[in-house]
C-alpha cells in the first residue's frame, strides 16, 4: 500500500517540531524513507511541502536541510499569531455552530476544573484544543490553515513557561466564548487580542538543552492512511 505524501509530511514535521532533527541538519531522502518505512517518492513530495511551510530549506551541495529561523523570524511568528487569532475569534462570532460552542464551553469548564483541583498537567493541551476549535469556528479554511502552520512553527521554536496565574488565562478563554456566543465580533476580537498579547509573554526561544535528545524509528505504514 502506498503511503500518502501527506502522512509522511506530517510524520517528518512532527519530528522536526519535537526536535528530533537538528536545525541545519541534512534530511536525505534515503535515510528518511528508511526511517518511516516508505519509498523515496512520498519523502521527496513531503520535503517540498515542508520547504514551502518554512520547516525545510534547500542548500547548494547539501540538499534538503532543517531550516534555521532567525530571532527576527521567530518574533514575526508571534506577531502574526497576535493578528490572526483575533480575526479568527471575530469570524467565529458570526460563523460558529452550536457544536463549536459546546466544545469551547466544555473545554473552559475542564480547564477551570483542573485549576480548582490543582491538576494542571494537561492544561497546555486543553489550551491548544481550545484555540484549534476557535479557529475551526471561524469557518475560514485559509485562516485555519495559517493558524495551524503558525502553531506548529511556534511550538518548534519556542518553549512556553507555565503561566503564573492559569486561572486568569482560562477566565479570558471563557470571556471570549461568551462574546462568540453573543455574536459580538468586535468584543471577541478585542478579548482575543488581549489574551494573545498576555499569553505570549510566557514564550521564550528554545535552547539546545530544551530539545528532546531521543532518536526513535518511526514506521507509519498502516498507521496513517
Q: What is the CATH number of the domain that holds 194?
A: 1.20.120.530
Same domain, 89 and 47: no
CA angle, 150 as apex, 95 and 85 as ends, to 5°?
A: 35
Same domain, 126 and 106: yes
8 Å CB contact between 91 and 179: no
Same domain, 81 and 49: no
Alpha-carbon distances, residue 174 vs 65, 127, 185 (angstroms): 42, 12, 15
Residue 80's nearest CA partner among 174, 169, 143, 139 is 143
Same domain, 128 and 149: yes
8 Å CB contact between 140 and 146: no
Same domain, 54 and 151: no
8 Å CB contact between 75 and 41: no
Same domain, 18 and 115: no
Tell me whether residue 131 is in a domain: yes
The residue that leads in pLDDT, 163 or 49, is 49
Q: What is the pLDDT of residues 73-114, one digit of tens each?
A: 999 999 999 999 999 999 999 999 999 999 999 999 999 999
Q: What is the pLDDT of residues 160-184, one digit of tens each?
A: 887 667 889 999 999 999 999 999 9
For residues 34 and 46, give the distance between their C-alpha atoms in angstroms, rounded to a whole number.
14
Same domain, 52 and 89: no
What value does the mean pLDDT take over residues 127-136?
96
Q: What pLDDT score was predicted for residue 208?
A: 63
Tell me whether residue 188 is in a domain: yes
The residue that leads in pLDDT, 167 or 120, is 167
8 Å CB contact between 3 and 42: yes
For residues 176 and 105, give the distance between their C-alpha atoms in angstroms, rounded to a whole number.
10
Residue 64: give its domain's CATH number. 1.10.10.10
Same domain, 186 and 85: yes
For residues 91 and 85, give the distance between their C-alpha atoms in angstroms, rounded to a whole number.
10
Q: What pLDDT score was predicted for residue 113?
A: 93
Q: What pLDDT score was predicted for residue 161?
A: 81
What value does the mean pLDDT take over residues 119-141?
92
Residue 47's nearest CA partner among 30, 70, 71 is 30
What value does the mean pLDDT of the chain take?
A: 89
For residues 72 and 54, give the distance between their C-alpha atoms in angstroms, rounded to a whole number.
14
Residue 3 pLDDT level (bands cut at 50, 70, 90): low
Q: Is the pTM of this model over 0.85?
A: no
Same domain, 89 and 45: no
Residue 220's nearest CA partner among 29, 83, 36, 2 is 36
Q: What pLDDT score was predicted for residue 207?
A: 77
The residue that leads in pLDDT, 117 or 109, is 109
Same domain, 47 and 120: no
Alpha helices in the chain (DSSP H): 5-17, 29-36, 40-53, 71-95, 98-116, 123-136, 141-157, 166-182, 185-199
* Domain end (from 47, 68, 89): 68
Domain holding 75, by residue range, is 71-205
Domains contained in the chain, number: 2
Q: What pLDDT score was predicted for residue 163?
A: 67
What value does the mean pLDDT take over residues 137-142?
97
Residue 210 pLDDT level (bands cut at 50, 70, 90): low
Half-sphere exposure of residue 10, counting CA atoms within 13 Å on the CB side?
A: 11
Length of the chain: 225
Tell me whether residue 17 is in a domain: yes
For residues 77 and 131, give the distance between their C-alpha atoms in angstroms, rounded to a whole number.
16
Amino acid at each position: 500500500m502506498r503511503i500518502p505524501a501527506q502522512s509522511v509530511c506530517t510524520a517528518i514535521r512532527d519530528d522536526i517540531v519535537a526536535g528530533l532533527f537538528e536545525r541545519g541538519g541534512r534530511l536525505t531522502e534515503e535515510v528518511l524513507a528508511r526511517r518511516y518505512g516508505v519509498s523515496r517518492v512520498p519523502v521527496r513530495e513531503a520535503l517540498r511541502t515542508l520547504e514551502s511551510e518554512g520547516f525545510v530549506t534547500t542548500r547548494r551541495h547539501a540538499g534538503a536541510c532543517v531550516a534555521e529561523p532567525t530571532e527576527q523570524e521567530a518574533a514575526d511568528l508571534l506577531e502574526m499569531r497576535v493578528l490572526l487569532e483575533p480575526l479568527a475569534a471575530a469570524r467565529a462570532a458570526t460563523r460558529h455552530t452550536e457544536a463549536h460552542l459546546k466544545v469551547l464551553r466544555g473545554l473552559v469548564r475542564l480547564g477551570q476544573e483542573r485549576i480548582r483541583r490543582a491538576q494542571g498537567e494537561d492544561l497546555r493541551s486543553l489550551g491548544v484544543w481550545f484555540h484549534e476549535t476557535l479557529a475551526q469556528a471561524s469557518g475560514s479554511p485559509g485562516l485555519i490553515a495559517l493558524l495551524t502552520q503558525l502553531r506548529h512553527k511556534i511550538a518548534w521554536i519556542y518553549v512556553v513557561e507555565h503561566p503564573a496565574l492559569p486561572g486568569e488565562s482560562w477566565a479570558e478563554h471563557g470571556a471570549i466564548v461568551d462574546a462568540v456566543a453573543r455574536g459580538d465580533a468586535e468584543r471577541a476580537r478585542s478579548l482575543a487580542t488581549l489574551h494573545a498579547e498576555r499569553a505570549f509573554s510566557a514564550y521564550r526561544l528554545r535552547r539546545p538543552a530544551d530539545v528532546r535528545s531521543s532518536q526513535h524509528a518511526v514506521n507509519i505504514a498502516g498507521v496513517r492512511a
